[in-house]
Structure 1
Amino acid sequence: MTSPNPPKLLSGGNPQIPKGDGDGPVQAYIAAMPGWKRDLGRRLDDLVMRSVPTARKGVRWNSPFYGSQTGGWFVSFHVLTKYVKVTFFDGLSLTPIPPGGTAKSGQARWIDIYEGDELGEVQMSDWIRQAAALPGWTP
């Protein structure tokens, strides 16, 4: 069933979803992801929840966030024009360190996933479990 007022897509096709906690806002975001990115969003959500079944979910800044029950957020993803960026907020503490990052990134590191890329579920799941064991980011 489609919503009578589907979410607006922001720059790069990122769905505009109101801030909210729980699975509902995250699923609304994923459902609004354009094209091939929607399937990737479903796979990422499933992978996070299989890797950390107790993870809490929410939408912040028009992106799904995943956090521990007692700590901060450990991973998020965001739609951009040609890829989906998966950000680990304490990525410098992960082994191996995810490839994305700059001198201005602080502790955050990420991986960009383009159409046709392998998700690399074994490595991604390992990073997710490592990140969930850290204190996490609290805005």
Structure 2
Amino acid sequence: MAEGKSKRAPLKPGPDGIVRLSGGNPQIEKGYGDEVVQRYIAAMPGWQSAVGKRLDAIIEKTVPDVKKAVKWNTPFYGVEPDHYFVSYHCLTKYVKVAFHKGSQLDPKPPGTSKQADVRYLDIYENDAIDEAQFADWVRQASKLPGEKL
């Protein structure tokens, strides 16, 4: 086998035509704008799609001119191109929301990270999203310098 080549077989699309990565995260092509983010949300498995729709709606309402992109099979939101303040992706049992400068939010989102500035919010199937708190974190995060990605 050639050096650097993986022995794994390529991932195959499910019955819906979507390739899902580890934990069920949909593999969606890199792109910019609402359309590609909506494709990602529609491809989120089961109950997670409704969570994605809700998060997207709260972010749009809180930051009306938000810029959207999908990179690395993850939707990102920012106030200027290629600078993002929040993203999320699917894991087997929850949706992981990442606030890229979350350590600067008050109160801080509950999940810690190996990266000093990043804070997480994990949303499980039967969790009620505290929409007011989430919107406040989004508002605060959108006023901070975005993470260049």
TM, length-normalised to structure 1: 0.93
Match among 58, 62, 83 for residue 72 of structure 1 = 83
Asked if the contact 2:67–2:81 (Cα under 8 Å) also holds between the matched residues in 1, the reply is no
Match among 65, 83, 89 for residue 100 of structure 2 = 89
Q: C-alpha distance in 1, partners of 2:81/2:33?
A: 15
Deviation at 1:121, TM superposition (A): 0.2
1:32-111 pair list within 5 angstroms: 32-69=43-80, 72-102=83-113, 104-111=114-121
Query: RMSD over aligned Cα, in angstroms?
Result: 1.4
Letter of the structure 1 residue corresponding to residue 107 of structure 2? P
Match among 138, 143, 146 for residue 136 of structure 1 = 146
Tell me the SS of whatever aligns to 1:98.
Answer: coil
Q: C-alpha distance in 2, partners of 1:59/1:71?
A: 11
Percent identity over the alignment is 53
Deviation at 1:106, TM superposition (A): 1.9
Residue 122 in structure 1 maps to residue 132 in structure 2:
yes
Q: How many residues align?
A: 135
Q: C-alpha distance in 1, partners of 2:82/2:69?
A: 14
Letter of the structure 2 residue corresponding to residue 58 of structure 1? A
Asked if the contact 2:68–2:75 (Cα under 8 Å) also holds between the matched residues in 1, the reply is yes
Deviation at 1:66, TM superposition (A): 0.2
Aligned residue number for residue 35 of structure 2 = 24
Asked if the contact 1:85–1:110 (Cα under 8 Å) also holds between the matched residues in 2, the reply is yes
The runs of 5 or more residues in structure 1 that have no matched partner are none
Deviation at 1:89, TM superposition (A): 0.1
Asked if the contact 1:100–1:110 (Cα under 8 Å) also holds between the matched residues in 2, the reply is yes
TM, length-normalised to structure 2: 0.87
**Larger Cα-atom Rg:** 2
Letter of the structure 2 residue corresponding to residue 113 of structure 1? I
The runs of 5 or more residues in structure 2 that have no matched partner are 1-14
Q: Kindly tell me: are residues 18 and 71 of structure 1, through their superposed partners in 2, closer, same or farther at Cα, counting changes over 3 Å?
A: closer
